[in-house]
């Protein structure tokens, strides 16, 4: 999830778990603990971009790291707060809950997270929520501001903190339900077209959990479509995209190409934009697929011009979003009856 979500949710958890014993410092510790796994961005500053993509959400997002860092954070906090009746054990449990919450939420996105590193390179990604979903963050954010300004003895402090946690938990459960709704439609469509054994994934589109992108692996490419949880039609309109793996033959042994293929987990296409060879990772969605089924993909890496690849994951997400496109996205989120 995005940093803001981790901070405000971490503060709410801190308020609930530590109660008034640590005062507002519990919020600060919670926000800090939820941010700790993302320190891997520091090491990424000295890495080639494709290596950084693989390193991000790696060891610092593992269960082993969670246990180690929780111990040291608990040691620091217990010594810092000697005057307060909070045991080392309670601090340890607190930091474990905070950091495991971070690891759990990050696995809900499409990037992938290395829970088992350094023992396994397997990445876990459940494609349940978009990396930044305003509705998921809204109530914890409101609760966070109330907690900042309410006095410590205010009767509603705990109520606000709990509401932030409960609301986000409810939204996560709803997200799983939405995913299942979309996947039932996808599987029905695949069964009707004799592709019942096809490999596919579904992932939310930009900033919402109602409109989902569907990508199905085919023998030489991918079938791509978008599906709203409110769509009533049983049929899906597939757009075929050739993978074009042969375009990588001249550079197949380049480190950046091998790392990109590993990072994409097989869901990639290659194409030429003029004289530029481009690698697309399909997992991050299309720039405006709700308007144009053949829209470019948000994650695109210029193999021919590697120096132009700054902010590769983020740069394409909002590239074509404007007022008209935003209205069209909202309409498409609400289903076919709103088209």
The model's pLDDT over 60-86, given as tens digits with 9 standing for 90+, comes to 999 999 999 999 999 999 998 887 888
Q: Is the pTM of this model over 0.85?
A: yes
- CB neighbours of residue 3 within 10 Å: 12
Q: Give me the numbers of helices (H) and strands (E) for the chain, helices first please.
A: 10, 7
- The pLDDT, as a whole number, for residue 85 is 80
CB 214 within 8 A of CB 192: no
- The pLDDT, as a whole number, for residue 211 is 97
Determine the Cα–Cα distance for residues 327 and 330; give it in Å rounded to an integer: 5
Sign of CA dihedral 88, 90, 96, 99: negative
**Nearest 5°: phi and psi at 98?**
-60, -50
pLDDT digits (tens, 9 = 90+) for 216-241: 999 889 999 999 999 988 889 899 99
CB 123 within 8 A of CB 265: yes
- 99-103 LR contacts (CB < 8 Å, sep 24+): 99/33, 99/34, 99/36, 99/37, 99/66, 99/69, 99/70, 100/66, 101/9, 101/10, 101/13, 101/34, 102/6, 102/10, 102/33, 102/34, 102/36, 102/37, 102/61, 103/37, 103/61, 103/62, 103/63, 103/66
- The pLDDT, as a whole number, for residue 83 is 78
The candidate with the shortest Cα–Cα distance to 161, out of 291, 52, 18, 290, is 18
- The pLDDT, as a whole number, for residue 234 is 81
> Token pair for residue 161?
């903190």
- Residues (pLDDT < 70) of the chain are 19, 21, 311-314, 336-339
Contacts of 73 (CB under 8 A, 6+ apart): 29, 33, 36, 91, 95
Element (H, E) at 4: helix 3-18
**Nearest 5°: phi and psi at 337?**
-65, -15
Determine the Cα–Cα distance for residues 258 and 213; give it in Å rounded to an integer: 26
**Nearest 5°: phi and psi at 226?**
-130, 145
* CA angle in degrees (0–180, nearest 5) for 143-75-144: 5
- The pLDDT, as a whole number, for residue 339 is 42
- The pLDDT, as a whole number, for residue 75 is 95
CB 203 within 8 A of CB 213: yes
């Amino acid at each position: 999830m995005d940093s803001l979500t981790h901070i405000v949710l971490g503060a709410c958890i801190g308020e609930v778990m530590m109660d008034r014993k640590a005062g507002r410092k519990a919020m600060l510790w919670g926000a800090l603990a939820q941010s700790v796994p993302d320190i891997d961005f520091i090491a990424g500053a000295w890495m080639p971009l494709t290596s950084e993509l693989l390193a991000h959400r790696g060891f610092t997002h593992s269960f082993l790291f969670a246990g180690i860092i929780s111990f040291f954070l608990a040691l620091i906090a217990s010594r810092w707060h000697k005057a307060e009746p909070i045991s080392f054990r309670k601090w340890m449990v607190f930091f474990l809950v905070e950091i495991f919450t971070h690891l759990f939420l990050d696995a809900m996105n499409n990037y992938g997270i290395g829970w088992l590193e350094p023992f396994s390179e397997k990445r876990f990604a459940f494609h349940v929520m978009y990396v930044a979903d305003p509705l998921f963050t809204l109530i914890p954010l409101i609760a966070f501001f109330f907690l900042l300004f309410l006095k410590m003895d205010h009767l509603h402090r705990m109520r606000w903190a709990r509401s932030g946690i409960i609301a986000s938990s409810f939204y996560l459960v709803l997200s799983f339900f939405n995913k299942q709704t979309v996947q039932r439609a996808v599987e029905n469509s695949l069964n009707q077209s004799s592709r019942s054994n096809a490999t596919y994934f579904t992932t939310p589109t930009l900033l919402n959990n109602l409109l989902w992108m569907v990508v199905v692996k085919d023998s030489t490419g991918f079938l791509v479509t978008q599906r709203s949880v409110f769509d009533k039609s049983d049929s899906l309109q597939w757009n075929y995209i050739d993978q074009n793996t042969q375009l990588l033959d001249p550079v197949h042994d380049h480190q950046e190409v091998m790392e990109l293929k590993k990072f994409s987990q097989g869901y990639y296409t290659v194409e030429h934009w003029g004289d530029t060879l481009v690698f697309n990772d399909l997992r991050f969605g299309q720039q405006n697929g709700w308007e144009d089924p053949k829209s470019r993909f948000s994650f695109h890496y210029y193999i021919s011009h590697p120096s132009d690849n700054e902010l590769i994951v983020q740069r394409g997400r909002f590239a074509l979003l404007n007022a008209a496109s935003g209205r069209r996205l909202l309409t498409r989120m609400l289903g076919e009856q709103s088209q």
